[in-house]
Structures are given as C-alpha cells and as structure tokens.
Amino acid sequence: MSGSIKLFKVYGIPIEINVTWLFAFVLIAYSFSTGAYPGFFSGWDQKTYWLAGIFSSFLLFVSVLIHEMAHSFVALARGHKVSGITLFLFGGVSHIRGTARKPLDEFLIAFSGPCSSIIMGMLFLYFNKSFSPPDLIGTEPVDGIIFLTGWMNIILGIFNL
C-alpha cells in the first residue's frame, strides 16, 4: 500500500504501518505523557511520565496489531486469503480477500478482533490485580502502564463490537 512501511510477516501475512500511524504514535505518547499519566498518577517525575507514555503508545500499537491479527487468523481458519495488515492513524485494517461464504464466517471474523482486545484487557487488569488501583498516588509506573493498557484494550474491544 502506498505510504506504508513494511515491518515484517507473521505466518506469511505482511504487516505494514501507514506513515499516518507514526503521527498517531507521537500524539498518543504526548497525550499519555502530559495528560493521562499526570492526571491519574501524581508523584512521578517528568522523565517517568514520558517513558510511560512512549511505552504505552507502543503497547497500544501492539494491541491494535493483535486485534487485527485475530481477524486475520480467523479469516484464514475459515478459508479466506489475507493479503496483509496495515495500521493507520485511527487503528488498523486486515486485508481479507473475498466475501464470507456463510453468515457465521462473517460473524466470527468480525467478532474475533474485539474479543481478543477485551480478553487482553482483562488479562492486563488481572495482572494488575484490580479493576481500579487502590491508591492512585504513589502507584509504581509499571502498575500504571499495565492498568492503562488493560483499560485501553477493553475500550478498544467495546468500541469495535
């Protein structure tokens, strides 16, 4: 695709990022570093806010990629061809060739992405040991990153249902 950078292949599926995603990465990292993390977790130094924001932006990239890979893997399992995955400014797209032969195929392909995001979110929150931090002030950065990544995935999943 024009304006995209090829990264690697997963099970023969080319993974690309559109140049717009680089803008999104910076914007998301900035938003987390100057808004979300200072708002939720006071007491960290500026460097920590920025490192957490950059790492969280990367985790969001990985989360969207896994979401799209779920669509693609289910499509492959249902007999479709997948020509690639491209991540854009506001998400990603799996390039699935053809149309679903059965309504069940269409449902499973569509539902697999949101389902994977919600499951990932719940796993992150489980490992964070809570659906809300007991004490937002003084929370360790790794806990904040896990907490925010969990909720980002749940929101991503619900938004895509």
Query: In terms of Cα–Cα distance, which of 104, 133, 124, 122 is closest to 158?
Result: 122
Task: Give the CA distances from residue 87 to residues 41, 49, 53, in Å, rounded to whole numbers and listed in that order.
Answer: 29, 25, 19
The single-letter code of the amino acid at 21 is W
Burial label for 104, CB within 10 Å (0-12, 13-18, 19+), is exposed
Q: Is 106 a catalytic residue?
A: no
Beta carbons within 8 Å of 85's beta carbon, 6+ residues apart: 13, 14, 15, 16, 65, 68, 69, 72, 92, 93, 94, 95
The residue from 16, 68, 106, 140 that is catalytic is 68
Handedness of CA 148, 150, 155, 157 (dihedral sign): positive
Active site residues: 68
